[in-house]
Amino acid sequence: MKQHREHKITKSAVLIELNGEAVILKISARGWNEILAIAAREAKGELCVAKVPNQNIFNLISTQA
C-alpha cells in the first residue's frame, strides 16, 4: 500500500510472538515512527499493512501499568 500523506499515531502497540508466546508490547508514537521508517526502507518504500478487526487490543494496553 503506497500512501504519501502524514498520519498521526493515536495509540500504539505491537503483537509479536516471543519463544512461542504471543505478547503485546506498548510502544510510543516516537518509537513507531522509527519502526515504520525501518520497515519502509527495508521494503523499498512500500509498507504492507492489514487492518485488524478487533480493536480491543488498545483497551488492553491502555490499562496496563
Amino acid at 27: I
User: Bigger pLDDT: 43 or 52?
Assistant: 43
* DSSP-assigned states of every residue in 1-33: ----S-----S-EEEEEETTEEEEEE--HHHHH
**pLDDT tens for residues 5-45?**
666 776 777 778 888 887 878 888 888 888 888 888 888 87
Q: Tell me 53's DSSP state.
A: S
pLDDT at 4 (0 to 100): 58
Q: What angle do CA 14, 10, 40 make, to 5 degrees?
A: 55
